[in-house]
Amino acid sequence: MAPILTTICIVASASPLLSAEDTIQPGATCIYAVSMVEGIDYWVILHLDRTEQDFDLVVASREMDLDRFMSLPYREDYHYAREHAIAEGIREGPEDFTLTAPYTGTAYLVIHDVGETGGGYLLELY
């Protein structure tokens, strides 16, 4: 008699630390503040509603001056955030990358519509 093999699959699903669904105007920039813990790995995912959209995502460090960021015009705010990047997703289309937090404290997730199409997105942080 042949042995019976049993396979057990366990699927774990974690709730995201951040889940933000929103719409952005063509060429605009959005920002989210999150708390990170040094040494922890985070998974950042930016889903887009349409294939022709191209949004870039920057994780800017706490060194970025939020008041200055908020006072800059579109596109300049995004370039300023990139000067303080600790991680970036700058490929065409949706973004998906991991980041190991270099410190404990606030970081800023900055989304910029580089394709200037506008539209909806879902930002998730695990």
Model pLDDT for residues 50-63, shown as the tens digit of each residue: 999 999 999 999 99
- Could you give the CA distance from residue 122 to residue 87 in angstroms, rounded to a whole number? 18
- Could you give the CA distance from residue 34 to residue 78 in angstroms, rounded to a whole number? 17
Question: Which pLDDT does position 11 carry in this prediction?
Answer: 42
CATH fold for the domain made of 22-125: Jelly Rolls (2.60.120)
Q: What is the mean pLDDT of residues 105-126?
A: 96
Question: Which pLDDT does position 14 carry in this prediction?
Answer: 78
Q: Is the pLDDT score of 93 beyond 70?
A: yes
63-72: b or e for each residue (b if 16 or more CB lie within 10 Å)? ebeeeebeee
Q: Is the pLDDT score of 3 beyond 70?
A: no
Question: Which pLDDT does position 13 carry in this prediction?
Answer: 59
Q: pTM for this structure?
A: 0.86
